[in-house]
Structure formats: C-alpha cells, structure tokens
Amino acid sequence: MSEMEHRLFNNFSSITNQVNDLNNSENDRSELIKRRIGDVNSQVERLSSEVHLLTGKVHSLDRELPPHLKYNNPIMNSTQQLSNPVEYSQSSQTARTEDKQQQVAIQTQPTSNAQETEAAVEVNK
C-alpha cells in the first residue's frame, strides 16, 4: 500500500507543479498583454496629438480648402469649367487652334515667306 500511496503522491505533486507552471505562464502573458496595450495606448495618444497639431496648422494658414469633388475625372472638377459644356468644348477647341497657330508661327520664323504661307494653309485646314 505504501508504494501505491507514494505513486499517488508523486502524481499529485506533478499535477500541482504543472498547474503552478501554467499559472505563472498565464500571469507572464497577461503582464505582456498589459504592456502591449499600454504601448498601443501611448501610440494612439501621440498620434492624436500630432493630428490635432497638423489640423491646427492647416486651419491657421487661412487658405481656402479645395472644393468638394463631384467627379472622379479631375478635368471635370477643374475651376475653369464653364457652366455650359458646349461653351466649354468650343473654348477648348479655340484654345487648341490658337496653340497650333503659335506653334506654326514659332516653327516658321526662320524660314522663307513661301514656307510661311504653306504653314498658314495647313493651320486653316
């Protein structure tokens, strides 16, 4: 009987040692989690203070914020856009022809008069 009691005592002591080890490792994990939560909290506080600092700088510059964008296309959101799209397309076409005329004029300056007239005819087409 004493041998059986001895085995039971050894089993019981090994189980209690395992439970103690598990408790210690759980306590270590909980302390580690608490430290990580504290680190995250400090990072969030620092980020919040930086955001408030930057937003304060933006508001202190006294400049207009960009208008609300209605379209994904940046050309459609441009401030130069006219209220009537037909007028806008006509004005853009005239601007293109003016640009072409300027390019032709720049290219034809060092040439003779005959070449200038040929370039002018090409622009009118």
Model pTM greater than 0.85? Answer: no
Is residue 115 a contact partner of residue 99, using CB atoms and an 8 Å limit? no
Q: Whole-angstrom Cα distance, residue 40 to residue 54?
A: 21
Identity at 111, one-letter amino acid code: T
Tokens of 78: 């441009």
**Which distant-in-sequence residues (6+ apart) come within 8 Å of 69 by Cβ?**
77
Residue 103 has pLDDT above 80, yes or no: no
Of 36, 16, 17, residue with least CA distance to 28? 36
Domains of the chain: which residue ranges? 1-63, 85-125
> Which carries the bigger pLDDT value, residue 70 or residue 50?
50
78-89 pLDDT, tens digit each: 765 445 555 545
> Which carries the bigger pLDDT value, residue 31 or residue 97?
31
Containing H/E element for 25?
Answer: helix 2-60
Please state, rounded to an integer, the average pLDDT across all residues of the chain: 75
Tokens of 112: 């003779």
